[in-house]
Structure 1
């Protein structure tokens, strides 16, 4: 049995439509600038209220603009259609091993979020419900899924990796090629119905799949009543986990009180005479008012191990107890590994934020352990690279 299936009607990029996924940005202004430079970017549809022609509207108000943009792009040939296909995917960069994957549709009823919930697709991270509602509304308006859920094949990952490498090497000229902001090149090949497609779908959907990126999109598929969702199934050999940091735009108390509040909450705070950098596991680094602090946040012995991971302690102790902020507060920005420690420091030095929080990446061992236990990681705690590109392969909903 496989939970991976062909895409009934796919739209394949034929122009410069590829883009970072809508949730990979630290600042909305970056999205507007990308769309202004490239109106064909799928971000103009994914985040319609941030397109230059729709600024000032809410997300909901701008949804008709999203539908009109997609229809216009399909009509002028920015995408070409194909039926009952899977799509081979390869990402390359100098000095990196190729990452490979398969674009496919995966059964929504296979999503499992707890040990007593059966299913081969394990969603492992808490989400922001407002973002989920936006994805449901967008899919309902444009009748199309524009960016995939990235799924990690854990059961047959090695076999899938070797088979995909061989398939992409033998595939010839790609059907679409795109370059991303980090210098990686993305190639896709349409794979029609036949023996090779059947074999790859069986491998892709033949073991437990962990949501590596796209927790909101997978829940949106459930909430929107979709029987299947668009996914890229990739392999452990294709990915790495990078840091996922935070910026606080406005502190609820003067910066000078932060150390005192941390100490009162049971944290150990050390003033460091250097710029901030990504710390080792078990310590976070804070940059505020020109100072760097190494902070060990207290653990809670009465909670499961996952709730004492660094990102969970940041959410519970730093945001909740010390700053009195909910994780979904608009003053909290989640900044992925594409942004360096120097960039985070500059955001504070240039007064666009008041506090930078630097956190060690979740280890692969911790990630696997949490998933096998069917527990949830804190929101925005795993930044997998390389990311699957949005706008390369779309799935039209029936």
Structure 2
């Protein structure tokens, strides 16, 4: 028996509703700009308080507007309904034959495991910000649909699933809809109704442990909200890569000199760089940019296990908590994914919109797999998987 199931009542985009997921932005103003340019974007539903006509109002106060927008989108033909479907998904890179594959499905919530002593085939691997989880629960209750999928990595039968999805797409003909993302990638979908192909693909998708690659908050929201299943895209190891996940601090609690001195006092090695810093190619050091200067920093190792000594964990423990006295959930910290280059982060500091940029090497696949197999948790916002599943392409009606 598989933990992966077709979507009982799906709404498939007919075009123009696709969007980056709500948590992919370093600047909330970008969300407003996208909604203003395309009111049909799913972001208008997922982030209703960022819509141009709602600025200044709280997320909860804007939930009725979110429900209204989704109802209008269903009524005006922006989505078409489908029953008992899985949905083939292909992402192609611009000017390249490279393709990523996935399958939109529903996954059993009771299979989520967050520790070694908790059974389940779905492994959630990062700490979360509970305020964001509460927002996702409230949104689902208000609109009665799930708009953004959790991205799950199939670790047991990944190669088989990849080959089966590629073959199914090749035989499927023209896609039901396509969407172009901000990086020029083309996202295409094909609904698959009941039958042998759907059964085989769902069995392969659920044929081994599933690791949450993106959507830790969404998966916990499904648990917190009492949903028996959550919307997911099951993808394959051959379809994804891990990019850097950096940090911006808008306001330092110490002067730049005091910050650097605090790091040295904590046992870190701090070396000035010539020019602006880049993202480190591998772990073991981080790079900072503040007051117009770049620095290479080797943080003191922790006495714990592999997770405790990951660069993201050391940044959180030594720099953010220890030196600056900031909780990781402090609003002065912005978590910036790999879609934003180092030059963008240093530019935010130079422009005065931030005071510190922290550049961290990507978590390696080996570390990611080892942490998950041990049922340990990564620090918050440690892994930026690409390409990401697009929100607003396939919706799951709940309730």
TM-score (norm 2): 0.99
Partner of 1:10: helix, strand, or coil? Answer: strand
Contact 2:244 2:384 (C-alpha < 8 Å) held by counterparts: yes
Q: Secondary structure at the match of 2:213?
A: strand
Mapping 1:194-273, distance limit 5 Å = 194-273=195-274
User: Could you tell me how far apart the structure 2 residues matched to 1:289 and 1:120 are?
Assistant: 47
CA distance in 2, matches of 1:55, 1:226: 30
Displacement of 1:340 after TM fit?
0.2
Query: CA separation in 1, counterparts of 2:86 and 2:274?
Result: 53
Worse-matched range after superposition: 336-345 or 272-281: 272-281
Whole-Å separation in 1 of the counterparts to 2:275 and 2:174: 49
Specify the alignment match of 1:74 in structure 2: 74
- Ranges in structure 1 where 5+ consecutive residues have no aligned partner: none
1:327, distance to aligned residue in structure 2 (A):
0.3
Counterpart of 1:137 in structure 2 is: 138
C-alpha distance 96-322 of structure 1, shift in aligned 2 (>3 A):
farther
1:293 to 288, 292, 295: 295
Listed as ranges, the gaps of 5+ residues in structure 2 are none
Question: Secondary structure at the residue paired with 1:229?
Answer: strand
> What is the SS of the residue equivalent to 1:358?
strand
Following TM superposition, where does structure 1 have runs of at least 4 consecutive aligned residues deviating by more than 3 angstroms? none
Q: 1:96 Cα shift?
A: 5.7
Distance 1:291 1:143 in 2: 49
User: How many angstroms apart in 2 are the aligned matches of 1:68 and 1:15?
Assistant: 19
Partner of 2:15: 15
* Cα offset, 1:168, TM superposition: 0.6
1:394 pairs with 2:379: no
1:50 aligns with 2:50: yes
SS at the partner of 1:67? helix
- TM-score, length basis structure 1: 0.99
* Superposed displacement of residue 299, structure 1: 1.1
Preserved CA contact (<8 Å) 1:67 1:141: yes
- Whether 2:146 is the aligned partner of 1:172: answer no
Whether the 8 Å CA contact 2:152–2:212 is kept in 1: the answer is yes
Matches within 5 A, 1:116-155: 116-155=117-156
Aligned position for 2:372:
371
Deviation for aligned residue 1:95: 3.2
CA contact (8 A) 1:11 1:82 kept: yes
The whole-number CA distance in structure 1 between the counterparts of 2:255 and 2:311 is 24
